[in-house]
Amino acid sequence: MSADYLVVGCGLSGAVMARFMAEERNKKVLIVDKRDHVGGNCYDYIDENGIRINKYGAHLFHTNSERVWKYVNRFSSWTRWEHKVLGVIDGQYIPLPPNITTINMLCGQHLTNQQEVDDWLSRNQLKHKHIDNGYQMATSRVGVTLYEKIFKHYTFKQWGRYPEELDASVLARIPVRNNFDDRYFSDKYQALPSEGYTKVFENILEHENITVRLSCDYFDIDPSTVSNSTIIFSGPIDDFFTNVGYPKLEYRSVNFEIKRLKNTKFFQPCATVNYPGPETPFTRIIEYKHFLNQESPHTTIISETTCSDGDPYYPVPNKRNMELYEQYRALAEKERNIHFVGRLASYKYFNMDQAILNALEYCDSNFSI
Ligand code: UDP
């Protein structure tokens, strides 16, 4: 087991940290994951329909960071992919995030240009004194009608609470457009790894100083065998401090229901169709065949239903959890020779590029020569 660094978790943060210590600091790194594969929640594979699917939900890479873009290009070629999302609302396919077409279709308008949209929005947006929660954020951006149709119930299905019970940042993630742009993201770089995410991780971890051990739960490792290693922990911070007896942090998990439709060209018009209404339990259906225009006589669709139990996916940003996290963070700061890095260890809703940048910047600040 002996290694200079023991990295816990083979997701983005762990893999980037492992590579840095191995390559830039010439350290021996052991990276472990309790799952039987690398890649964390980005893990993908080719299914029995010959279609590449993500085991833990669709992952769309997008970034404005030159540093992150340069970094990921070292480990894979990437194919530009501008993600589009439609929502089934009032029985029709509506573009998301909201743009001119969305407003026209859902609010019976005939807006044609940016000025008209800006005027319509400012007439409809609620003017709150402070933006303290997701409800205030959403209604201050789109007004009540679009809030009810697009955000209110979807957010409840996703988070198990209504927007007023969540941090404003959650409802600020997706833009509101005053034009016809129907891309989900506006970042300079938006792409998918040409050979899939798993390959990216295999390439990041392909280094003579890195040993990967899968199906290995950090908490089952005999501490005496790693007592000389510095630990980089990317798992849930509250799991690390279970013995302290603080309440657990809340996470949302996702239940995936896979359907393989034989001899079916397509099930839906684009890769992601959201179901923002209360009439379905799932939030969205992903049809993976659309990504990079894959070919198969069949198609695979996966519906995502968010739930409170299961693997931790999304930290739940509300007051209770943020305050509790601060208590865990205070414990983490007292630990010597252990670094807590990544979405679960920092209890932050990172996009992929933010997770990579965060890990790289953590190395800049903590492992400079
Ligand atoms: N959201 C919504 N309706 C939608 C799409 C998003 O209410 O059709 C809200 C919801 O609260 C969600 C947040 O916006 O959690 C961020 O959406 P995003 O697509 O970024 O979520 P992710 O892909 O990270 O699950």
Q: Which of 149, 173, 187 to mutate to test the pocket of ligand 1 (most atoms within 8 A of CB)?
A: 173
**Is any atom of ligand 1 closer than 6 Å to the C-beta of 142?**
no
Report the atom number in ligand 1 closest to the C-alpha of 349.
Answer: 24
* Encoded tokens for 362: 């953590």
- Would you state the pLDDT for residue 369? 77
**Contact (CB, 8 A) for 248 and 324:** no
276 C-beta closer than 6 A to ligand 1: yes
Name the architecture of domain 5-77+194-246+316-367.
3-Layer(aba) Sandwich (3.40)
Centre of ligand 1 to C-alpha 174, Å, is 7
Instruction: Give average pLDDT by consecutive 10-residue segment, the chain, 369 residues.
Output: 92 98 98 98 98 98 98 98 97 97 98 98 97 97 98 97 95 95 97 98 98 98 93 98 97 98 98 98 98 98 97 93 98 96 96 98 93
pLDDT at residue 13 in the model: 98
pLDDT of residue 1: 65
Spacing, Cα 361 to ligand 1 middle (Å): 27
Q: Establish whether residue 146 lines the binding site of ligand 1, counting it when its CB lies within 6 angstroms of any ligand atom.
A: no
pLDDT at site 190: 98
Going from the C-alpha of 7 to that of each of 10, 44, 148, 267, the distances in angstroms are 8, 22, 44, 41
**Which atom from ligand 1 is nearest to the alpha carbon of 158?**
15
Ligand 1: distance of its center to the CA of 24 in Å? Answer: 37
283 lines ligand 1 (CB under 6 A): no
Ligand 1 pocket check for 150: Cβ under 6 Å? yes
Residue having the nearest C-alpha atom to atom 1 of ligand 1: 151
Q: Does the beta carbon of 151 sit less than 6 angstroms from any atom of ligand 1?
A: yes
Which residue's alpha carbon is at the smallest distance from atom 14 of ligand 1? 171
Sorted by where each begins, the domain ranges of the chain are: 5-77+194-246+316-367, 85-173
Cβ(89) to ligand 1 under 6 A?
Answer: no
How far is it, in rounded angstroms, from Cα 146 to Cα 125?
10
Ligand 1 centroid to Cα of residue 155, in Å, is 7
User: What ipTM does this complex have?
Assistant: 0.98
pTM: 0.96
What is the pLDDT, as a whole number, of residue 24? Answer: 97
